[in-house]
């Protein structure tokens, strides 16, 4: 059990109600559970708040809540604060410190303090593992690669040679980082693979989902900017540069040598062709194919990508075509009658 006062202190919140309350766990707002804490981030969920059995709720400063028998912690960002509280009750499941007996670690590798290294992990020559790092079972860290402090690499991840992973990075299972890109050169009807001598740079506070592929640069680096978040099943090709704070949803791909600016959002099942630039703060809607560079702040959708509002207007006109065709046919029939008369 954790006191509501300690919870409020950890998220810099202000308590309204019983400051002596003890909380045993987190819960959803819908239904809720006694002696548990939930959160409300939008006034649309006020009815759920009233009906919930949760003993306490984290709420935004400006959300007007009816008086019921619940303790409220007021914060600026309830979703972010609830995330922090959830880690108090449900810490990282692989954070137990220690090195498994079956791990194979090169004598030339550098291992920081307070690490958790799972079964069958392989850490190759001259790799550097920072402090408080978690590495799940069956993961390989290639030669000369670096994993920064407080990073967590889950099970069955392949980090190839000479890859640099920053601090506070999270990489989920099945992801491969640093494989050669899909670069080919044709000669006399035969396609030859191009050697990739670059690397991958993953900056601090990046999160990468399961089964992603991030290819190394041909000569320089493929780069993922700090605070960027990648969903599952994403392909980042060679030489791609992704800016700060970008969000890329599942089953999306960015082709080689394309540059994404800062705070770009790419929704699910979208593609961006190679050798173009996408400006800061662009939004690419789901199932969109971007075939040319986008200026900063663009909001595009469709295949090929067009400005979203323009495309919606065009679709509205297209949807009227069947009715317009009927009217034209009626007019043609009336015109034929006039000609016959």
Active site residues: 238
Q: In this structure, what token pair is assigned to residue 27?
A: 């819960």
167 vs 124, 130, 156, CA distance in Å?
20, 8, 20
Work out the number of other CB atoms within 10 angstroms of the CB of residue 229.
Answer: 16
Return all residues near 238 (Cβ < 8 A) that are at least 6 apart. 180, 181, 182, 183, 196, 198, 215, 216, 217, 218, 222, 256, 257
Residue carrying structure tokens 């050798």: 275
* Residues 194/157, Cβ–Cβ less than 8 Å: no
What is the distance between the alpha carbons of residues 55 and 37, in angstroms, rounded to a whole number? 6
DSSP state of 193: E
């Amino acid at each position: 059990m954790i006191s509501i006062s300690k919870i409020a202190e950890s998220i810099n919140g202000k308590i309204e109600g019983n400051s002596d309350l003890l909380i045993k766990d987190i819960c959803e707002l819908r239904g809720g559970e006694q002696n548990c804490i939930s959160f409300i981030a939008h006034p649309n969920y006020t009815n759920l708040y009233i009906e919930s059995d949760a003993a306490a709720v984290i709420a935004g400063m400006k959300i007007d809540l009816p008086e019921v028998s619940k303790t409220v912690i007021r914060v600026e960002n309830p979703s972010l604060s609830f995330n922090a509280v959830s880690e108090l009750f449900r810490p990282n499941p692989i954070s137990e410190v220690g090195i498994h007996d079956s791990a194979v670690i090169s004598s030339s590798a550098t291992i920081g303090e307070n690490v958790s290294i799972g079964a069958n992990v392989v850490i190759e020559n001259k790799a550097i593992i920072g402090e408080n790092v978690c590495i799940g079972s069956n993961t390989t860290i290639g030669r000369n690669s670096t994993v920064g402090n407080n990073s967590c690499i889950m099970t069955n991840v392949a980090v190839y040679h000479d890859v640099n992973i920053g601090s506070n990075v999270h990489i989920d299972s099945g992801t491969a980082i640093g494989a050669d890109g899909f670069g080919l050169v044709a000669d006399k009807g035969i396609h030859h693979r191009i050697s990739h001598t670059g690397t991958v740079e993953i900056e601090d506070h990046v999160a990468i989902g399961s089964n992603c592929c991030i290819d190394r640069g041909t000569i320089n680096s493929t780069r993922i900017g700090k605070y960027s978040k990648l969903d599952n099943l994403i392909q980042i090709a060679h030489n791609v540069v992704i800016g700060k704070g970008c969000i890329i949803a599942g089953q999306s791909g960015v082709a080689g040598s394309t540059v994404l600016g800062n705070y770009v959002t790419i929704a699910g099942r979208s593609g961006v062709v190679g050798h173009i630039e996408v400006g800061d703060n662009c939004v690419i809607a789901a199932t969109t194919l971007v075939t040319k560079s986008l200026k900063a702040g663009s909001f595009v959708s469709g295949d090929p990508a067009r400005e979203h509002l323009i495309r919606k207007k065009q679709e509205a006109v297209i949807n009227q075509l069947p009715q317009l065709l009927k009217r034209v046919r009626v007019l043609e029939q009336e015109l034929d009658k006039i000609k016959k008369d």
